[in-house]
């Protein structure tokens, strides 16, 4: 965070209130006709709150591993070692195990990584670790694990990981190492604004795929 960042923030958002109710008033003050502009709000609030969420759970029986930090190649591009292998693995896993359409609506992502229980633990501690009372305080970091297992779903199960609006990553010990993933996703879009953004992205991807095929 630089002085420039702080100043730019102040210039752009300094007048916006910190209190939520005051921010709502701030937004409403921009309307020429409040009653007409905000008449759909209540109806939309009710619609969005009634949107159903679907749940998808799956387990990968492998030792949890986090991807290394991105590196810069000789031509200046960034890459992540092992990312391509992860994607290939998940594509096969998806075809063989998951019979679901691609997720293209806002979703929540939960990653539970079960690291191997250390052999030098006493049997009492191994038992306590298995029931979740003793937790790992070693690498890999929880955020890197979440990124690894969310990134590998992109373009396969998940249209774009930008769709993830909320996430939790937890580390556990287990005699049976594994990764348990849960996606909770909306049955429909929360707004026309977000729907248009995804539709535009889909069209862009289809154009890129067509250009690639034509080029070959």
pLDDT by residue (tens digit) across 10-28? 999 999 999 999 999 999 9
The predicted structure's pLDDT at residue 22: 97
The predicted structure's pLDDT at residue 206: 46
- Mean pLDDT, residues 143-159 taken together: 93
The predicted structure's pLDDT at residue 75: 56
Give the confidence band of 100 by pLDDT, cuts at 50, 70, 90: confident
Most distant CA atoms of the chain, gap in Å? 70
Q: Taking the C-alpha atoms of 12, 48, 198 and 53 in order, what is their torsion angle to the nearest 10 degrees?
A: 130
The predicted structure's pLDDT at residue 214: 52
Contacts of 159 (CB under 8 A, 6+ apart): 102, 103, 104, 198, 201, 202
The predicted structure's pLDDT at residue 97: 87
Higher pLDDT pick, 199 / 193: 193
**pLDDT score of 114 more than 50:** yes
**pLDDT score of 201 more than 60:** yes
Helix, coil or strand: residue 119 = coil
The DSSP H or E segment spanning 80 is none
pLDDT by residue (tens digit) across 58-90? 999 999 998 765 554 455 544 445 568 888 889
Higher pLDDT pick, 161 / 117: 117
- What fold is seen in the domain 53-68+82-186? 60s Ribosomal Protein L30; Chain: A; (3.30.1330)
The share of the chain scoring above pLDDT 90, in percent, equals 67
Least confident among 77-86, 98-107, 112-121, 192-201 = 77-86
- Mean pLDDT, residues 81-110 taken together: 86
């Amino acid at each position: 965070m630089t002085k420039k960042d702080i100043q730019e923030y102040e210039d752009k958002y300094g007048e916006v209130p910190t209190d939520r109710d005051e921010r709502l008033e701030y937004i409403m003050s921009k309307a020429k006709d409040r009653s007409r502009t905000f008449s759909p709000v209540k109806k939309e609030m009710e619609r969005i709150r009634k949107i159903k969420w679907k749940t998808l759970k799956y387990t990968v029986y492998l030792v949890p591993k986090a991807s290394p930090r991105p590196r810069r190649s000789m031509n200046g591009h960034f890459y992540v070692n092992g990312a391509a292998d992860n994607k290939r693995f998940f594509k096969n896993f998806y075809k063989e195990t998951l019979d679901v359409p691609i997720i293209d609506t806002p979703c929540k992502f939960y990653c539970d990584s079960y690291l191997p229980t250390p052999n030098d633990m006493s049997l009492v501690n191994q038992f306590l670790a298995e029931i979740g009372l003793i937790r790992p305080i070693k690498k890999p970091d929880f955020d890197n694990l979440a990124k690894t297992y969310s990134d590998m779903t992109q373009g396969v199960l998940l249209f774009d990981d930008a769709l993830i609006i909320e996430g939790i990553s937890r580390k556990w010990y287990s005699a049976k190492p594994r990764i348990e993933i849960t996606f909770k996703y909306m049955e429909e879009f929360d707004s026309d604004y977000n729907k248009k953004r995804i539709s535009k992205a889909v069209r862009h991807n289809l154009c890129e795929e067509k250009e690639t095929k034509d080029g070959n």
